[in-house]
Structure 1
Amino acid sequence: MTTVGSNHNNSVSQERPTQHFLRENSETLKVPTCGTVIDLAALKHDDLIQVVFNMSQELFPGWLKQKEDVVINRISGALTNAIFFVDCCGKRRLLRVYGVGVDQLIDREKELAWLARLGRLKLGPRLLAIFGNGRFEEYVDSVTLNHYDIREAITSQQIAQCMARQHAIIRTYPPTTEDAGMDSLEIWKNVDKWYALVNRMLPTLKQQHPEWAQLLDVYNFEHLGKDIENCKTILSSINSPVVFAHNDLQYGNILKRDDTGALVLVDFEYAGYNTRGYDLANHFNEWRYDYHGDQPAAMTEPFPTYNEQLRFIQSYIDTYKNELGSADDDDTSAEEIQKEMETSLMATHVGWGLWGLIQASQSEIDFDYFYYSMERLNAFRDELAKWNLN
């Protein structure tokens, strides 16, 4: 039975949330919006088509003529959302349905505002419409990169160029004074929020999953708070400039256009102001994952070699100098930026480790979030120990 509300079908339950994530005068209110909620746990294929058809009649009048012409295909690879291609009358749009509980992890309004800005700057797909628990985005004729692609020399250099262009957005949208401090960086805002959430949920998590309880006790989450503050202190002494960072630049979030071969970055749920070193460290850590392999939650792939790191960073530097016009006195070497990255590795581990534990408690996606979380949190302490000794 269909349990999803729609404005155009009075025979089903109506549910129109207040869309609390859209604040007054938001840039994202300039795109069509509706309150329809898609419950993927309850909907079968035909029911999903019906709901998407009804919703599209409101958001995109004239696009979908009749339900029988609509084709919906789910695409794999997302660890947070369910993503579908919606095809009709020779036009394709991307439909993204947010995962259960994800709004605890993401500032949805901030994400949508950045998505709208990036679309206008032609640095990402355009935001087309928003509904109660998801959105429609522009579809880009492309293929998604895989874990082999990001290791290929030319592709890696292209990714570095894309990263440089995105980092430079800070010139167009500079942070406010309150957004530029250490604790205001995206990583620490998230870590502080997620750490508090993990501490609140630990008793319930142990009760629901007794097999996890011993590992959670041994890890000592009370002491983790002190480790996090120690990490902040170490990183505050690193002179890594604040940029507009993607913060989740894994291979599944990079598309290669069919027409030009150019790369396009997508999925800006975690984007925001962070240090250059953090965004580099996060991308290099993603070299270690094959999310479609036999152990998708484990770091089974090799970290980039020192020479691979320098090749990437040099392409990043060259893009800034030759295309974006970096300051004449900015003579930071690739080796110096590599050190920024290396020091920042621990911050990427603790952030995604906490994220994974929250996902383990609530996500409906078939992925071993608990293993992922504990491996990242242990890697955090390993990296922290290296810098505590110096």
Structure 2
Amino acid sequence: MGLAAPIFARFHNGIICGYLEGSCLDINSVKEPKIVDAICQAMARMHRIPVEKHQTSEPAIFSKTRDFLDNVPNSYQTTDLQQRFDDYFVKNKVDLEADFKHLSELLKSLHNRIVFCHNDLLVFNILYNSKSEQVHFIDYEYADMNFQLFDIANHFNEYGGVDNPDYSLCPNTDETRSFIQKYLSYYLEHEPSSDEVSRMVEQIPLFEAASHFFWSVWALVQAKNSVIQFDYLEYGITRYQMFRKIIDQK
């Protein structure tokens, strides 16, 4: 499919893969029209990968979020982390289990294709080759069967960046519609109808909420376990706030 580097060897806890030419995107280059078009092409090719019927039984958003929820710590190792967690999640009486149940019910009420998704298309996981004007995706750690729109909505959320994310940078309605129009023309291999585009555009916010919730609980786990110098707790709070902003309108 030409979507990732070739795998040359596998061994315990690792692989050897080929080298891909290109540079990682950033929050500015990801919006360039020719790059948007290349992303739409690559994403459509990935989503068209044939899968066995039994593989589409449950979208990964449910099982993976469940795994993270089951591992959200009861306490944090430093007073600062614990105080900050309490100041937001405890004082605001956040019930992550109830949130997940409500989100799951909303998602299950929608009719969206289940396809093979990357599930983590942040700008650093997209390489752009200026010579071939093509993109390749890297870091397939979270790749799995999932709602088609989760992959797209999650990518939109990543327009805001990771360090000090600014979600005002995410696509507006017109930009979202333009992206969906391009994407569907490649995925369907013909021009989509206006109704097809509109249905997907209307559902995007709920999948953006799902993405925010997913990475929020992921970050709460990482805040306990990761050795990387990054404020996972603050990131988790920010993503949860975005989740609430969207879901409270549903």
Task: Let me know the Cα RMSD of the aligned residues.
Answer: 2.3
Counterpart code for 2:155: H
8 Å Cα contact 1:128-1:138 kept in structure 2:
yes
Structure 2 vs 1, CA of residues 332 and 138 (structure 1 numbering), >3 Å: closer, same or farther?
Answer: farther
Partner of 2:48: 168
Partner of 2:143: 271
> How many corresponding residue pairs?
249
Unpaired segments of 5 or more residues in structure 1? 1-120
Structure 2 vs 1, CA of residues 219 and 163 (structure 1 numbering), >3 Å: closer, same or farther?
Answer: farther
TM-score with structure 1 length normalisation? 0.59
8 Å Cα contact 2:75-2:82 kept in structure 1:
no
Unpaired segments of 5 or more residues in structure 2? none
Counterpart code for 1:194: F
1:263-318 alpha-carbon deviations (Å, 9 max, x no partner): 111111111111122111101101111x4xxxx14335511121111111111111
8 Å Cα contact 2:56-2:115 kept in structure 1:
no
Counterpart code for 2:91: V
Partner of 1:226: 98
Partner of 2:27: 147
Q: Which has the higher contact order (CA 8 A, sep 6+)?
A: 2
Residues in 1 aligned to 2:160 and 2:171: alpha-carbon distance in whole angstroms = 8
Counterpart code for 1:174: E
8 Å Cα contact 2:209-2:246 kept in structure 1:
yes
> 1:215 is matched with which residue: 75, 80, 88?
88
Residues in 2 aligned to 1:206 and 1:258: alpha-carbon distance in whole angstroms = 46
Partner of 2:243: 380
Bigger Cα displacement from structure 2, 205-214 vs 235-244? 205-214
8 Å Cα contact 2:35-2:133 kept in structure 1:
no
Structure 2 vs 1, CA of residues 307 and 133 (structure 1 numbering), >3 Å: closer, same or farther?
Answer: same
2:38 paired with 1:158: yes
- Equivalences for 1:4-15 in 2 at 5 Å? none
8 Å Cα contact 1:175-1:273 kept in structure 2:
no
2:74 paired with 1:194: no
Structure 2 vs 1, CA of residues 188 and 152 (structure 1 numbering), >3 Å: closer, same or farther?
Answer: same
Between structures 1 and 2, the one with greater helix share = 2
Structure 2 vs 1, CA of residues 379 and 268 (structure 1 numbering), >3 Å: closer, same or farther?
Answer: same
8 Å Cα contact 2:107-2:206 kept in structure 1:
yes
TM-score with structure 2 length normalisation? 0.90
Identity percentage of aligned residues = 26
